[in-house]
């Protein structure tokens, strides 16, 4: 993705969003949400055409400039989603991992944030824990999110103020009260820090999809999770809302809530979990200068 620097020309046309900011979803956008879900499910069928459980994909795989993989399926799904989502609300902006970025999105009150396949490396290797992620962001926060894992036959959805579901059934974060012994998913760098701190916990599998790692916290399968720095809006926006509506919290290690649709849509290290556990996790994971 071609990310441009945050200079005045890139940001000068942005209009602050205030109208309906505290409502669950602006009514004009609420009407399109059932169709958004249908489109994402249809896109999931494209992914399954190229996915082979436990075996390498037959899709063409290339490396992007930073070394991360992109498959033929990523690009086809990106094209499909844009072709079908944009006509639903032409006034919305667009931000996707597989589409060249445009400063135009910064002048929009709302936009789609899309990851055609989150967990591409796992998808290409035959790991079913990948997901299609679409969020509707109004102002700088998501008001609707869908994380669709077609190979797992799981679809997680949240609308702001209405709770979160998996395949239509409500989900909620863990009710655990103490971090010691918790089911925790973390990158190796954090894992080493936590072990050195003396914390004992049940390490969870390192899923290829960051969105699905956050979703496992939202569903209560994991108690807490950490993410290293440099995740992007498309990696986390949909899962962030689902986690929030399931009763959880996602912040950086200073306790700041992610803000979306910024000039550079990249985020620092993040911690996710029920509020009480998440606060304990920040204390355990954050080096002294990062603690508040």
pLDDT at 288: 41
Asked if 151 and 207 touch (Cβ cutoff 8 Å), the reply is no
pLDDT tens string 24-42: 688 889 999 999 999 999 9
The pTM is what?
0.90
- In order, the DSSP letters of 6-48 are --HHHHTT-----TTTTSSS-HHHHTTHHHHHHHHHHHHHHHH
Residue with tokens 């606060």: 279
pLDDT at 59: 95
Backbone angles phi, psi at 103, to 5 degrees: -65, -10
Q: How far apart are CA 258 and CA 154, in angstroms?
A: 25
pLDDT at 152: 98
Q: How far apart are CA 245 and CA 98, in angstroms?
A: 27
pLDDT at 65: 85
Take residue 179 and report the two structure tokens written for it.
Answer: 């971090």
Alpha helices in the chain, H assignment, sequence order: 8-11, 27-30, 33-50, 72-85, 120-125, 188-196, 210-218, 233-245, 275-285
Asked if 206 and 180 touch (Cβ cutoff 8 Å), the reply is no
Average pLDDT over residues 252-267: 96
Give me the domains of the chain, ranges plus CATH numbers.
8-162 (3.30.540.10), 183-290 (3.40.190.80)
Average pLDDT of the chain, as a whole number: 90
pLDDT tens string 69-122: 999 999 999 999 999 999 999 999 999 999 999 999 999 999 999 999 999 999
**Sign of the CA dihedral with 111 first, then 117, 120, and 122 last:** positive
Q: How far apart are CA 54 and CA 152, in angstroms?
A: 13
Q: What percent of the chain has pLDDT over 70?
A: 90
Asked if 77 and 59 touch (Cβ cutoff 8 Å), the reply is no
Per mean pLDDT, which range of 145-159, 190-204, 264-278 is the poorest?
A: 190-204
Q: How far apart are CA 213 and CA 169, in angstroms?
A: 19
Name the nearest CA neighbour of 207 among 280, 269, 152: 152
Q: Which residue has the higher pLDDT, 214 or 4?
A: 214
Backbone angles phi, psi at 146, to 5 degrees: -135, 130
pLDDT at 24: 66
Q: How far apart are CA 52 and CA 56, in angstroms?
A: 6
For the cut 50, the answer to whether the pLDDT of residue 13 exceeds it is no
Residue with tokens 């999809």: 209
pLDDT tens string 202-239: 999 989 999 999 999 999 999 999 999 999 999 999 99
Provide the terminal-to-terminal Cα distance of the chain, rounded to the nearest Å: 34
Backbone angles phi, psi at 291, to 5 degrees: -85, 145
pLDDT at 144: 97
């Amino acid at each position: 993705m071609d990310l441009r620097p945050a200079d005045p020309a890139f940001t000068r046309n942005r209009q602050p969003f205030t109208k309906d900011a505290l409502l669950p979803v602006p009514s004009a956008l609420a009407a399109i949400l059932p169709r958004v879900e249908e489109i994402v499910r249809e896109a999931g069928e494209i992914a399954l055409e190229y996915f082979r459980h436990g075996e390498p994909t037959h899709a063409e795989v290339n490396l992007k400039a930073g070394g991360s993989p992109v498959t033929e399926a990523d690009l086809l799904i990106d094209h499909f989603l844009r072709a079908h989502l944009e006509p639903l609300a032409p006034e919305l902006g667009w931000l996707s991992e597989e589409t060249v970025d445009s400063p135009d999105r910064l002048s929009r009150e709302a936009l789609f944030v899309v990851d055609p396949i989150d967990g591409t490396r796992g998808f290409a290797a035959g790991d079913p824990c990948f997901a299609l992620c679409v969020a509707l962001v109004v102002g700088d926060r998501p008001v609707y999110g869908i994380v669709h894992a077609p190979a797992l036959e799981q679809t997680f959805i949240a609308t702001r103020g209405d709770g979160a579901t998996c395949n239509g059934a409500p989900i909620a974060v863990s009710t655990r009260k103490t971090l010691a012994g918790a089911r925790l998913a973390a990158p190796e760098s954090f894992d080493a820090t936590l072990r050195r701190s003396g914390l004992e916990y049940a390490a969870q599998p390192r899923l290829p999809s960051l969105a699905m790692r956050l979703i496992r916290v939202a569903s209560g399968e994991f108690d807490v999770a950490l993410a290293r720095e440099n995740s992007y809006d498309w990696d986390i926006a949909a899962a962030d809302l689902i986690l929030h509506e399931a009763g959880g919290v996602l912040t950086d290690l200073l306790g700041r809530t992610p803000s979306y649709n910024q000039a550079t849509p990249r985020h620092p290290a993040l911690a996710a979990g029920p509020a009480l556990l998440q606060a304990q996790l920040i204390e355990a994971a954050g080096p002294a200068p990062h603690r508040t």
